[in-house]
Amino acid sequence: MSNHFISFPDNFLWGAATSSFQIEGYPLADGAGKSNWYEWTKTPGRIENGQDADIAIDHYHQYKTDVALMKQMGLKTYRFSISWPRIIPERGKVNEKGLDFYRRLVDELLQAGITPNATLFHWEVPTWAKGEWTNRETALAFKEYAEVVFKALGDKVPMWATLNEPQIVAEIGYLQKFFPPGKADRAGYAKVVHHLNLAHGLAVKAYRDLGFKGQIGVVLALCPWKTKNDDPVAKAYADKMWDLHADAFLGPVMGKGYPSFLFEFTGDDPKAYEKDMPIISQPIDFLGINHYNPNYAAYAPGANIFDNDWAMKDGIPTNDLGWPVDPEAFYDLLVYLWERYGVKQLFVTENGFPTRESKRTAEELIEDDVRVHYYGTYLQQAQRAIQAGVPLKGYYAWSLFDNFEWCFGYDPRFGLIHVDFKTLKRTFKKSADWYKQVIAQNGFDPALLPKDPDYPIYHDEGVRAKTF
């Protein structure tokens, strides 16, 4: 190994992640109920090219093949989510066939020597949950669902996350109209945030009360907030954007309470939420970090529902969705979370790079040097953070497979493994082979990363509304 080789701790967990709705397909099979996302895909104009997730990559039937590919890649752990409406098609009714699918998947993983890491909620809300997260009752129903799943799988699954990216659910579904339920309700935002936090707390308490000895935490989408220049007004607003998008979840979960800007933004009364804080702030075993890019802020009243100018610095590299590529911001985030919140264990639960068929050749989608470079430079910063003392215990690449990417449909592709969506054939990309080697060596040589990666370059167009 060269002098440039960087190693990770001996017990570092190398994994990859997926979510149920994005890969399983057959969302109504074997007695499953409908979800908000199922209905969203059937609503004209909501998904690019009118696509849906009725088949996705058919992981529901091909999970054994997929676990074999995980083993071939050398994954130590696999993060997946469980579909709430598959398990609870009606409130109070348990669908054992839905549970059986996840029992089979977990058994297959354990047989392959891969540690299961299960997420209870990755955005799918059963359609019977009226009002979704505007309704406190949804949080109470989520606890009931969590108890069913823990009892079925808690003795075999050692790692659990309650929610995946509740900020995205709240922000993009209840402020930007891009995700279900398609609202732009600034006044009701605090209530949605609180009910998601309450669902998390109730699920953690249920897990503890049932006596399981594994680890449980929450997964948040976390981005540093930057500014284009040193304007003090912009910097102050960047802090407020962090409070609104990140600290509104981190604060209460970590026992620090809600940031004042949440209520300044919504006009709501903070006293209405105090009674639930003991439930929400129960200790967690880990924080999962989903990170792709930093965000930019500058105060721009009336520009959009956030009063924010999201425009980035001119000339910076981006991915194919226009999100900035900034590995050092990843390091800054990891250190900041450790220092400010005192988290005892961190896991990077998602990190990855989308490539779009509309912007790349078929060969580039497989020979994905740009993704290898992205992973390598971000992992360099992860290792740097570990050297600085950050308790980062594992890394999950997003995603294991190309999949249904929500409102974008099947383009972009985030996968390490290419999926032909017509034949469902799986093929290792160059990034999968590279990641396999990283896992086998527990590190890599940054000097061997691809040179001159083909990142798109951002050109500043001024104030703009943010879309996912």
Q: Is 357 one of the annotated active-site residues of the chain?
A: no
Q: How far apart are the C-alpha atoms of 120 and 103, rounded to whole Å?
A: 14
- Residue given tokens 């945030």 in the structure block: 193
Of the candidates 165, 171, 274, 328, the residue annotated as catalytic is: 165
Q: Are 370 and 453 in contact (CB under 8 A)?
A: yes
Taking alpha carbons only, the member of 411, 398, 424, 355 closest to residue 66 is 424
* Residue 240 to residues 243, 275, 457, Cα–Cα distance (Å): 5, 25, 28
Positive or negative: CA dihedral 324, 327, 328, 334: positive
Omega before residue 399 within 30° of 0, cis: yes
Catalytic residue (one of 24, 108, 124, 350): 350
Helix, strand, or coil (residue 83) = coil
Specify the DSSP element, H or E, that contains 40. helix 36-41
HEC readout, 205-274 = HHHHHCCCCCEEEEEEECCCEECCCCCHHHHHHHHHHHHHHHHHHHHHHCCCCCCHHHHHHHCCCHHHHH
Peptide bond before 20: cis, by omega within 30 degrees of 0?
no
Neighbours of 305 (CB within 10 A): 18
Q: DSSP for 321-361, please give it.
A: TSPBP-HHHHHHHHHHHHHHH--S-EEEEE----B-TTTS-
Residue that the structure tokens 């005892």 belong to: 344
If you search the block for the tokens 């020979």, which residue do you land on? 367
For residues 320 and 371, is the Cβ–Cβ distance under 8 A?
no
Q: Is 184 helix (H, G, I), strand (E, B) or coil?
A: coil
Output the six-digit token pair for 9: 């701790």
Active site residue 350: yes
Q: Catalytic residues, which ones?
A: 165, 350
